[in-house]
Amino acid sequence: MPLSPLYRPALHHQSLGDGFFDRVAAADFPQTLLRFRNDRHAARIGLDQLTDAEWTGHFGRFTPLPDTLQTPLALRYHGHQFGHYNPDLGDGRGFLFAQLYEADSNRLLDLGTKGSGQTPWSRQGDGRLTLKGGMREVLASEMLEALGVNTSKTFSLIETGESLMRGDEPSPTRSGVMVRLSHSHIRIGTFQRLATLGDEAGLRLLADYVIAHYWPRAAHHADPVIGLFGHVVTAVARMGAQWFAAGFVHGVLNTDNITLTGESFDYGPWRFLPVYDPRFTAAYFDQTGLYAFGRQPEALLWNLARLAETLVPLTDTEALRTALQTFLPQFKQALTGQSLRMLGLVPDATAQSEAIVTQFYTALRDTQAPFAQCFFDLYGAGDPERLDQSPLAGLYAQPVWQETLAALRSLPVSPLAETQARHPYRARREPVTMLIETVEALWHDIDTRDDWSAFEQTVQDIRLMGSFYAPHFAD
């Protein structure tokens, strides 16, 4: 294995002790066909020099990487699922495979799996992942990254040669194993498990670990636990705002799907909005719309309240409540900033920016205009010549949009807008989108003809879009 100088392995998670995980082994798959490798992010952790054979050996057969975990760890946690507490969770079809440091930021990152086989937490599950599910995770994480969302990265997807039976899609179907690169797999549910067990020492140990490795600035707070909680509230509020501006519906906002780093991950029944609809749901089984698009901020706040409950033995209850109350103002502020960045505009120092962003989303809702097309057309407050050539030209002539355009044009245009207006992505007439019809068409080509060319081209198109937006999201 050619080791890059940027390869910096770590062994931190196992220092928590055996009470936090189970040591497991990966499934022995009939085959390992490499379908996606993320060399962009492999370079961040010194693994881009692997040959394809070495890649499939590590991420399909799970041969340990040097000097990191030599045995995979299935993590233990509980969680609220659609509002109901479930103490029978844990990594049932995945495990923590390795920990490494990112070269540029020095952040501790995890390589975790999905579909890697059964664990003590599989219950009645087979521990497997459909290939279609893995493909969908690639598309979700690539789109969200391109749209400025703090997301895990799909690192690898390998087809494993098994035929899986699934009730929610035509069966038998093809199987795969996926690896994701994440800034921690510690979840709200990890804390909930310890609180339910009454393990105050474990809670303290876990809080100290999270502070040391993910939120070191919290250690300088007068009460480090409150400092930690405040950082998590801020990160989750920003993540929710980023989803909103991207028109993204996660679908399953259970407490075991919210990490302590506020990084979006675990993409199952996700969808992107075709039009602005607060009631739009992603999961067919979300019959009450608990996790509908417009209710996602509420769901995130509810989850943070569950985290606060677990921290009560460690700190002051009133201080936790005060920190929790900052969620909504921070969400609104982050949504204003994220929306205007995507529109190539700069917020002013008054409440006017928030009001204008609200006006923009109201116009989207009331006219049911295509969500992504409007962001694309109105970049830089909408060049009149470009708007005349847009598929939505007639819509923009309506009074509601004329008023909204006037409001947007009252804000300063980003200094980046002039340069980015010449970006190759702006040569398109329509934006890159990832509606369900696109996903199904890509899968049809793969499933019926084993043709991955449209999928591969779509990933390149998404990355072109990401290169257009990236300067706006740079801190």
Say what the alpha-carbon torsion angle 203, 207, 208, 210 is, to the nearest 10 degrees. 140
Q: Which of 48, 91, 110, 256 is catalytic?
A: 256
The Cα 235–Cα 332 span in angstroms is 13
User: Catalytic annotation on 286?
Assistant: no
Least Cα distance to 188 among 280, 100, 78 occurs for: 78
Interacting residues of 363 by C-beta distance below 8 A, sequence separation 6+: 369, 400, 401, 404
Residues recognised as catalytic: 256
